[in-house]
């Protein structure tokens, strides 16, 4: 693999004296020795981004859009390599990387390039005075991203930040650092000026913490866990830096008594995608008691038929968990639930024949309190029944999170009645994971602060300005 293991700062590779080992979840073997950045590298990257900012902010939006399209072309050209490296690095399915993820990565750049060109300006008039509203670039953006969908989530932030005329310092997750490094090469090949995009590798508590505590940062966008979000929020508060937080979930999937059960089972099985390491996963299945027996039986059959194995095999449905720590955390949740009397009707433990990090897709009926409350971030679903719509809504909202909710029903009227009552940034009705990038994305309650997507992204990554002009008199 010819991926640089060093930082990308000011258009150059920068190495740190200390390194950390990047392991592949497929076999827990080392794949790279990555430069371990800290305060020094974070400061260096912010300085480079700051230096590059004035010229990039002045670059015409047509030229910025052209460069973003050139980056997208570079992603398309190297999509196979990116997909293979990402699978080796984070263990997610090669099939998904090839078919869904890498095309979406390129699309993130194209979408925000085109959005920039189409961005209108509001003008208001009061007593002959015009109020001209403009979207000014904010400055240097610190982007902190997780390991479950590394390049997809990073580019979802990088593309609007750059489109808006900002410069960027990205700190990818230490468990999946590689594709960000390839992206740095792609941006250089595309002709992005030095310092406009920078990557600092390293641990969250070192490189990440130093980055978000830098007073020259104008925006922080973070996707990750709630405890880390609280630390980042505290750093942002010290400098009054606007922050966008996209966090976890414990989302409900409601199967109403009139649901199409084939569809309901398909949608429930999708919640095991990426071995359950998806913030949007609707892991609490809430099923009308009239259909619960049949639904459970069919679902268990489907879970047992899932093909678990090497994520590079295109026939595999479910691969390994990302890391030993995450694997042990998941197993801890499962073992404590079993000890409390929860019943696993599918899975319930490791699939050790395949390797160290493969966990069987698991379904609990009569789940423990902890399982219902805490985000597992693994292939573990719970199933509970309800006897009325009112109870379904109460159970759905009985969580500290509010990222998304999924309703399966054949009644449009029921859907219209239910969806406004659900606390969630996204409500899916008879579908999952299909979203227009013009629409807002984000969470309520502990699932986050702010929304990104379309104008919501520009709102966040720009300083919105109102220029009021008196009438011009000759």
Smallest separation (angstroms) from ligand ADP to the CB of 209:
4
d(CA 92, CA 54): 39
Judged by CB, which is closer to ligand ADP: 278, or 424?
A: 278
Smallest separation (angstroms) from ligand ADP to the CB of 228:
3
Smallest separation (angstroms) from ligand ADP to the CB of 212:
5
Smallest separation (angstroms) from ligand ADP to the CB of 323:
8
Number of helices and strands (H, E) in the chain?
Answer: 16, 22
Give the pair of three-digit tokens for residue 422: 């659900």
d(CA 213, CA 208): 9
> Checking DSSP bridges between strand 12-14 and strand 217-223, what pairing results, if any?
unpaired
Judged by CB, which is closer to ligand ADP: 208, or 454?
A: 208
Count of all residues that appear for the chain in the document: 474
Distances (CA, A) of 337 to 241, 332, 369: 40, 8, 8
Smallest separation (angstroms) from ligand ADP to the CB of 26:
19
Catalytic residue selected from 41, 206, 246, 375: 246
Judged by CB, which is closer to ligand ADP: 201, or 296?
A: 201
| 246 contacts 222 by C-beta, under 8 angstroms | yes
Closest CA to 381 of 463, 259, 460, 295: 295
Helix-strand-coil split of the chain, %, nearest 5: 45, 25, 35
Smallest separation (angstroms) from ligand ADP to the CB of 204:
2
Judged by CB, which is closer to ligand ADP: 39, or 231?
A: 231
Catalytic residue selected from 86, 141, 279, 462: 279
- Residue 282 falls in the annotated catalytic set: no
Binding site for ligand ADP (CB under 6 A): 144-146, 171, 173-174, 203-205, 208-209, 212, 224-225, 228, 231-232
- Residue 279 falls in the annotated catalytic set: yes
Q: Which residues of 330-346 are buried (b: 16+ CB within 10 A; e: fewer)?
A: bbebbeebeeeebebbb
Give the pair of three-digit tokens for residue 36: 């371990």
Closest CA to 147 of 176, 167, 122: 176
| 34 contacts 177 by C-beta, under 8 angstroms | yes
Nearest residue to the partner ligand ADP, using Cβ? 204
| 375 contacts 249 by C-beta, under 8 angstroms | yes
* Residues noted as catalytic: 246, 279
């Amino acid at each position: 693999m010819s991926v640089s293991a060093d930082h990308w700062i000011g258009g150059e590779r920068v190495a740190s004296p200390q390194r950390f080992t990047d392991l592949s979840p497929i076999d827990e073997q080392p794949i790279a020795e990555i430069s371990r950045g800290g305060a020094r590298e974070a400061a260096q990257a912010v300085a480079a981004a700051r230096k590059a900012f004035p010229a990039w902010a002045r670059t015409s939006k047509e030229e910025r859009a052209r460069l973003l399209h050139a980056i997208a072309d570079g992603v398309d050209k190297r999509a196979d390599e990116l997909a293979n490296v990402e699978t080796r690095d984070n263990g997610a399915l090669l099939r998904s990387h090839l078919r869904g993820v890498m095309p979406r990565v390129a699309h993130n750049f194209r979408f925000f390039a085109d959005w920039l060109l189409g961005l209108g300006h509001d003008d208001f008039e009061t007593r002959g005075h015009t109020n001209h509203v403009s979207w000014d670039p904010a400055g240097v953006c610190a982007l902190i991203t997780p390991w479950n969908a590394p390049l997809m989530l990073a580019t979802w932030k990088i593309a609007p930040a750059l489109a808006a005329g900002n410069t960027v310092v990205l700190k990818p997750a230490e468990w999946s650092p590689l594709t960000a490094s390839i992206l740095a090469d792609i941006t250089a090949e595309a002709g992005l000026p030095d310092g406009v995009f920078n990557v600092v590798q390293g641990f969250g508590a070192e490189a990440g913490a130093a980055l978000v505590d830098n007073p020259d940062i104008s925006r922080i966008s973070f996707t990750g866990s709630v405890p880390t979000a609280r630390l980042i929020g505290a750093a942002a508060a010290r400098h009054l830096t606007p922050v966008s937080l996209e966090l976890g979930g414990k989302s409900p999937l409601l199967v109403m008594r009139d649901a199409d059960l084939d569809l309901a089972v398909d949608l429930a099985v999708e919640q095991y995608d990426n071995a359950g390491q998806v913030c949007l996963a609707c892991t609490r299945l809430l099923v009308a008691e009239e259909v619960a027996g049949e639904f459970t039986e069919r679902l268990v059959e489907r879970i047992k038929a899932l093909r678990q194995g090497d994520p590079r095999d295109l026939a595999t449905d479910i691969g390994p968990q990302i890391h030993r720590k995450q694997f042990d955390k998941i197993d801890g949740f499962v073992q404590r639930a079993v000890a409390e009397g929860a019943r696993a009707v599918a899975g319930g433990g490791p699939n050790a024949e395949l390797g160290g990090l493969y966990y069987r897709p698991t379904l609990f009926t009569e789940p423990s309190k902890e399982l219902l409350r805490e985000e597992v971030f693994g292939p573990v679903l719970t199933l509970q029944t309800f006897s009325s719509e009112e109870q379904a809504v109460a159970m759905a909202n009985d969580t500290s999170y509010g990222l998304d909710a999924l309703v399966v029903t054949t009644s449009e009227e029921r859907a219209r009645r239910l969806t406004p009552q659900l606390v969630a940034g996204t409500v899916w009705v008879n579908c999952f994971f299909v979203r227009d990038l013009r629409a807002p994305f984000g969470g309520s309650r502990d699932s986050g602060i702010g929304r990104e997507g379309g104008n919501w992204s520009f709102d966040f990554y720009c300083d919105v300005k109102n220029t009021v002009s008196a009438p011009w008199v000759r």
